[in-house]
Chain A
Amino acid sequence: MSPKTLYDKIWDAHVVDTQDDGTCLLYIDRHLVHEVTSPQAFEGLRMTGRTVRAPEKTIAVPDHNVPTTLDREKGIENEESRIQVEALDKNAKDFGVHYYPVSDIRQGIVHIVGPEQGWTLPGMTVVCGDSHTATHGAFGALAHGIGTSEVEHVLATQTLIQKKSKNMKVEITGKLRPGVTAKDITLSVIGATGTAGGTGYVIEYCGEAIRDLSMEGRMTVCNMAIEGGARAGLIAPDEKTFEYVKGRPHAPKGAQWEAALNWWKTLKTDEGAHFDKVVTLKGEDIAPVVTWGTSPEDVLPITAAVPSPEDFKGGKVEAAQRSLDYMGLKPGQKLTDIKIDTVFIGSCTNGRIEDLRAAAAILKGKKIKDGMRAMVVPGSGLVRAQAEEEGLAQIFLDAGFEWRLAGCSMCLAMNPDQLSPGERCAATSNRNFEGRQGRGGRTHLMSPAMAAAAAVTGHLTDVREMMNETV
């Protein structure tokens, strides 16, 4: 038998049917659902008299539209947002799927809730009408975003029509330097490969620096696989994975745990398996990075200066000029001279407990810059509770941050958490597109520690300088 990649193994275990032209029907183990991309799919089921084939494998939670202010029990002011969340309440009830409503402490961003509750397990296929479904790949699950038509298809059939992607290996060798995090890895990979570098591929991340990451860090890396164009990102499960999963509410128990573990341990790429594309970065070469433009590929080390459009080729010249105009930046300007109005810590990329710990470590005993707007939005109600228990919430509050309830919030600004035109934000989220955080808003992506540092100084800051201060 020829050697297989991890992706090959998970794929092969889920093929229901193969047509002559190679089009496959792939079985879906977990279907995660949120309020924005599902109403039309449930409506489609109603119109055709179809049901949800496997409600026990379908998990719904509202996250994009929910208010994150502490008065949330008052309800959602925006009528359309309210209708969308109410539609999910009704659809979850009518079709009998698992549901975490806004009032449930387990509510949060769907990609944080899934792993937290043990719905996401190694070797599974996981889909959601959301591009950041790639997050779940951190468990060695084949996980990717789908459109609403496909949401309806999965609801009705528990399968997806798919053609297999190619295999890509992204290896991060050696150790990371102090101040460098999972976010810096994933942004640096996109900076190196471009936002279309992964198109047509499923990426397996490997190497010592990836192995050294916690599960939270691995989720951050896989989360942004989509920003590199890949269908999915994967990391082979190991002891850290099993440790994280064990005991979670929906993880297997007893004899089933042992059986699962036996299979999960086989989920790794065989020696000599073929990758169609290989990218290798040295861990020690990765610096704390920020984005300067309006594409996640516009990544530079914090020590660099804003580039000039002439530094690029082809269509990117015009795009870079447009980005600079939009971002209000001049070529040659030092990145650390860029002043920040707002700091957003949260999102499915960096809204987990470890992210909050990293930000709090920088903020402890410090205050945010006068006039700065800063907020922390935990990824789930349980992350929020844990951060309060660990004393992190108090550190944020003492520093001058707002301490919010769980949701997607300012990552995509579908709820009232938005930037105003020209407002510049240091954000731990995943997209710096034009208008992403609010029309005319200017987003710089970075790690939680870097965002915390910017909150203190009022400008983009090399977190390593602040770490030296505290040592």
Chain B
Amino acid sequence: MDKFTTLTGIAAPMPLVNIDTDMIIPKQFLKTIKRSGLGANLFDEMRFTQDGKEIPDFVLNQPAYRNAEILVAGDNFGCGSSREHAPWALLDFGIRCVISTSFADIFFNNCFKNGILPIVLPQEQVDILMEDARKGANARMTVDLEAQTVTTSDGQSFGFEVDSFRKHCLLNGLDDIGLTLEKAPAIDRFENEAAQARPWV
């Protein structure tokens, strides 16, 4: 997993609420057995017509936002299925950070496993960031994970909360499984005790 430290980039506004994982990556693209290459189909049915032509109104098709690295989104982003293809598609497109008032639980977890930072902020701050994102490619937003701040293109800064363990893993690009395997003796101990207490499991 790539580290996430600071990011200064273009933010695309997606004010729609309840953007679900079927919108982020429709099911026909879940048939892959790889993690890569999904960016081409990110938001596929919103971004392309059925015969594959770009829909010019869609935000990521607009010249200003083709290289967006941040999304500012409406409430409850990432609801629906557990498909990790959603963060894989975002990452493959180049999105490293999503900002919203709220995220669906599984999507939120999946982001951290892939070096994407989901940031939760109150409505009024998301509104200000949404306006800043609407300014287009000349307005760059900055996210600083160490300092836990998001700064608009005109210097307005907001602090955000992030779980300390997840922050540590993102800052250092750490692999969860490696960390857990260091605790193998504790897992062994648990399994032995559980086999006594609940032998039917």
Beyond A37-B83, A195-B76, A199-B76, whether A158 also contacts B187 by CB under 8 A is: yes
Asked if B17 contacts A84 (CB within 8 A), the reply is: no
A319 partner residues in chain B, CB cutoff 8 A: 16-18, 74
Nearest Cβ on chain B to A299's Cβ, whole angstroms: 14
Q: B84 CB to closest chain A CB, in angstroms? A: 4
Contact with B along A181-202 (1 / 0, CB 8 A): 0000000000000011001100
B33 shortest CB reach to chain A, Å? 4
The reply to whether A161 and B176 form a contact with Cβ atoms under 8 Å apart is: yes
- B118 CB → nearest A CB, Å: 12
The docked-state distance in angstroms from the alpha carbon of A277 to that of B92 is 38
Q: B28 contacts A414, CB within 8 Å?
A: yes
Q: Mark B53-69, 1 if CB is under 8 A from A, else 0.
A: 00000000000000000
Q: Nearest residue in A to B29 (C-beta to C-beta)? A: A80
In the complex, the answer to whether B180 meets A146 with C-beta atoms within 8 Å is no
Closest to B17 in A: A315
Flag the segment in A15-23, A100-108, A455-463 that touches B: A15-23
CB-defined contacts of A229 to chain B, threshold 8 Å: 76, 79, 104-105
State which of B4-12, B148-156, B190-198 sits at the interface with chain A: B190-198
Q: Hey, which chain A residues are within 8 Å of B106, CB to CB?
A: 131, 144-147, 226
- Residues from chain B with Cβ under 8 Å of A146 in the complex: 82, 106, 109
Contact assessment for B15 and A318 in the assembled complex, using a CB-CB cutoff below 8 Å: yes
Q: Please name all residues of chain A whose beta carbon is closer than 8 Å to the beta carbon of B102 when the two chains form the complex.
A: 196, 199
**Is B113 a contact partner of A131 (Cβ separation < 8 A)?**
no
Residues of chain B with a CB closer than 8 A to A129's CB: 82, 84
Do residues A260 and B200 form an inter-chain contact, with CB atoms below 8 A? yes
CB contacts under 8 Å to B, within A416-440, are 421, 431, 433-436, 439-440
Contacting residue for A259 out of B33, B104, B199, CB 8 A: B199
Known: A131-B80, A434-B22. A256 touches B16 (CB 8 A): no
Contacting pair A150 B22 (CB below 8 A): no
CA–CA, A146 to B31, complex, Å? 18
**CB-defined contacts of B27 to chain A, threshold 8 Å:** 412-414, 436
B83-98 interface bits toward A, Cβ cutoff 8 Å, 1 = contact, 0 = none:
1100100000000000
Are A29 and B165 within 8 A (Cβ)?
Answer: no
The answer, yes or no, to whether A220 is at the interface (CB within 8 Å) is no
Main secondary structure of the interface of B (DSSP, over half): loop
Residues of A contacting B18 in the complex (Cβ-Cβ under 8 angstroms) = 195, 295, 297, 319
Q: Which residues on B sit within 8 Å (CB–CB) of A161? A: 165, 176, 180
* A305 at the B interface (CB under 8 A): no
B163→A157 contact, CB < 8 A: no
Question: Is B110's CB under 8 angstroms from A145's CB?
Answer: no
**Inter-subunit contact A21/B199 (CB<8 Å):** no
Q: Determine the residue in chain A with the shortest Cβ distance to B165.
A: A23
Q: Does B144 contact A (CB under 8 A)?
A: no
The answer to whether B177 has its CB under 8 Å from any CB of chain A is yes
Is B23 a contact of A434 with CB atoms below 8 Å? Answer: yes
Q: How far is the CB of B110 from chain A (nearest CB, A)?
A: 4
Q: A-B contact count, CB below 8 Å?
A: 186
**B residues less than 8 Å from A350 (CB atoms):** none
Per-residue CB contact flags for chain B residues 164-201 toward chain A (1 = under 8 Å, else 0) read 11000000000011001101101100110010001111
Q: Which of B101-130 contact A (CB under 8 A)?
A: 102-106, 109-110, 113-114
Q: Considering only CB atoms and an 8 Å cut-off, how many residues of chain B contact the other chain?
A: 55
| B75 beta carbon closer than 8 Å to chain A | yes
Contacts of B110 in A (CB 8 A): 147, 149-150
Q: Is B50 an interface residue (CB 8 A)?
A: yes
Which residues from A are CB-within-8-Å of B34?
Answer: 40
Cα A163 to Cα B109 in complex, Å, equals 11
| CB of B38 to closest CB in A, whole Å | 11
Is the CB of A241 closer than 8 A to any CB of chain B?
no
- A84–B31 touching, CB < 8 Å: yes
For residue A411, give the distance in angstroms from its CB to the closest CB of chain B: 10
A-contact 0/1 string along B18-58, CB 8 Å cutoff: 10101100111011111100000000010000100000000
Give bound CA distance, A150 to B104, whole Å: 16
A57 to B20, CA, bound (A): 31
Asked if B82 and A149 sit within 8 Å, CB to CB, the answer is: no
Q: Mark A138-153, 1 if CB is under 8 A from B, else 0.
A: 0000001111111011
Q: Which of B26, B33, B109 contacts A147 (CB 8 A)?
A: B109
Cα(A314)–Cα(B126), bound, Å: 13
Task: Report whether B75 and A27 are in contact in the complex, using a CB–CB cutoff of 8 Å.
Answer: no
Find chain B residues with CB under 8 A from A266 CB: none
**Contacts A16-B187, A21-B163, A436-B22 given: A78-B31 contact, CB under 8 Å?**
yes
Point out the residue from A65, A199, A436 that lies within 8 Å of B31, measured CB to CB: A65
Q: Are A196 and B75 in contact (CB under 8 A)?
A: yes
| B7 CB → nearest A CB, Å | 21
Minimal beta-carbon separation of A152 from chain B (angstroms): 7
CA distance in complex: A36, B199 (Å): 32
In the bound assembly, the distance between CA atoms of A449 and B27 in angstroms comes to: 28
Contact A152 B177 (CB under 8 A): yes
* A81 in the interface (beta carbon within 8 A): yes
For A162, the closest partner residue in chain B by CB is: B109
B164 contact set on A, CB distance < 8 A = 21
Verify if A301 is at the interface (C-beta below 8 Å from B): no
Q: How far is the CB of B141 from chain A (nearest CB, A)?
A: 20
Residue pair B31, A25 in contact (C-beta under 8 Å): no
| B residues near A57, Cβ cutoff 8 Å | 201
In order of increasing CB-CB distance, the 7 nearest A-B pairs are: A252-B200, A80-B31, A149-B113, A39-B33, A147-B110, A315-B17, A147-B84
14 CB-based A-B contacts, threshold 8 Å: A27-B190, A27-B191, A40-B33, A130-B82, A149-B84, A195-B18, A196-B75, A199-B76, A256-B200, A319-B16, A412-B22, A435-B22, A435-B23, A439-B26
Inter-chain pairs besides A226-B106, A256-B199, A319-B74, 19 sampled, C-beta below 8 Å: A13-B198, A17-B186, A27-B194, A80-B32, A129-B84, A146-B109, A147-B82, A147-B110, A149-B110, A153-B180, A157-B180, A199-B104, A229-B105, A314-B75, A412-B27, A414-B31, A431-B80, A433-B23, A434-B45
